[in-house]
């Protein structure tokens, strides 16, 4: 599989005055779910990234729900592709980066 770019929402309320987006290039050995791509960024590119690291991987718990290219989807069930934009769901208070308050 060829290298591809994903764009992630970044915001640390303790440091940042406004949210911003950051691009990352991933060169995987094979297909990755969006959650696996986010994990790859965390482990190999930027350990400061915050996200909920769900282990369900079956589309059951819903804790990995994100906006992917403007549509709410489960990151464990969606394949990562070049040019994806990943951000928290709207109308949620951001704790940090891709972590948001749940009900």
Strand 84-87 relative to strand 65-68, pairing:
antiparallel
Q: What is the pLDDT of residues 36-72, one digit of tens each?
A: 999 999 999 999 999 988 766 666 667 888 999 999 9
Q: Are 24 and 8 in contact (CB under 8 A)?
A: yes
Distance CA 93, CA 87 (A): 12
Average predicted confidence (pLDDT) for the chain: 91
DSSP per residue over 25-57, as a string? Answer: EE--SS--BHHHHHHHIIIII-TT---------
- Percentage of residues of the chain with pLDDT beyond 90: 74
CATH code assigned at 8: 3.10.20.30
- Domain count for the chain, please give it: 1
Q: What is the pLDDT of residue 12?
A: 95
> What residues contact residue 4 under an 8 Å CB cut-off, 6+ apart?
25, 26, 28, 80, 81, 82, 83
Domain containing 82 equals: 4-100
Q: What is the pLDDT of residues 11-21, one digit of tens each?
A: 999 999 999 99
């Amino acid at each position: 599989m060829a290298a591809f770019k994903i764009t992630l929402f970044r915001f640390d309320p303790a440091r940042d005055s406004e949210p911003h987006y950051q691009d990352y290039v991933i060169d995987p050995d094979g297909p990755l779910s969006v959650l696996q791509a986010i994990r790859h960024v965390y482990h190999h590119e930027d350990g400061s990234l915050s996200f909920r690291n769900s282990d369900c991987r079956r589309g059951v718990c819903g804790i990995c729900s994100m906006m992917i290219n403007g549509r709410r989807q489960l990151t464990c069930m969606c394949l990562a592709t070049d040019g994806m934009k990943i951000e928290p769901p709207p109308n949620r208070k951001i704790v940090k980066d891709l972590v948001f308050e749940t009900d």
